[in-house]
Amino acid sequence: MSALVLDGKQLAQQFEQQMRERVEKLKALANGRTPILATILVGADPASATYVKMKGNACRRVGIEPLAIELGENTTTEELLSEIHALNNNPDVHGILLQHPVPSQINERACFDAIALEKDVDGVTCLGFGRMSMGEPAYGSATPQGIMRILQHYELPIAGKHAVVVGRSPILGRPMAMMLLGANATVTICHSRTQHLETHVRQADIIIGAVGKPEFIQAEWIKDGAVVIDAGYHPGGVGDIQITAELTQRVAAYTPVPGGVGPMTINTLILQTLEAGEKALS
């Protein structure tokens, strides 16, 4: 029997319609004002520029206004912090996104943590991570939060399941593990240096590929009936998990690459910007 395809692209389109309606209601309450997402792009990395453009387009589709700030390759940490502080103090800006990665001379963590908690709609600050981990109000990191929304929409059970997260980055693997733990899963965190990785993966009811290496997780390691979530994307249209025709016939559900996690990452960023705007404007 074929697995359920967790279609993030279709799901994001469905949620965009709902968000358009919420933006229109908010505009009526706020005398025409709309939520604003400020994006900061430092340098000229083509992939980063593409991602920022995609996020701006997603804002416009639902009626949120994007504010694009572009800084040069030689920008210093102090100059970037100055831009972030100005946005923190701008009451018309409701969300702030610093596009990752930034040039090597910049202290990225210091700049992430300078973003005000109420405007951290991408869930990148240490304070936001800590609050989320403790079950306190905070915006979750966009990719893992998007994955949780996929699981919840398709009513895939999490509580009591064994989830294996392969990856430990501060904006994906680690918050993903905390979110699953908060939903009452039993969570194992693995990474590229985990010994006997295959053994851990074979135990997974839910497997999350977030290691950043193409097809690092082999299809034959994944047990029948598992839910397969691939957060990776690499040249050639492959993710972190080897998705084969045979695998799709024996697992319960899987995210395609592309069209699975990616669209829901951007959608979650926009949703959290809307939520921040609603809190500030209504």
Give the Cα separation of 272 and 120 in Å (integer): 9
The CATH code of the domain at 30-121 is 3.40.50.10860
Q: Tell me the per-residue pLDDT of 14-36, one tens digit each, with 9 for 90 and over.
A: 999 999 999 999 999 999 999 99
H helix or E strand, kind and range, residue 182: helix 173-182
The confidence score (pLDDT) of residue 282 equals 79
Identify whether the C-beta of residue 251 lies closer than 8 Å to the C-beta of residue 224. yes
Instruction: State the CB neighbour count (10 A cutoff) for residue 137.
Output: 9
Query: At residue 39, what is the residue type?
Result: T
This prediction's pTM: 0.96
Q: Tell me the per-residue pLDDT of 137-168, one tens digit each, with 9 for 90 and over.
A: 999 999 999 999 999 999 999 999 999 999 99
Where does the chain hold its CATH 3.40.50.720 domain(s)?
Answer: 142-261
The confidence score (pLDDT) of residue 8 equals 97
Active site residues: 55, 99, 122
Question: What is the CATH T-level fold of the domain 142-261, as seen in this structure?
Answer: Rossmann fold (3.40.50)
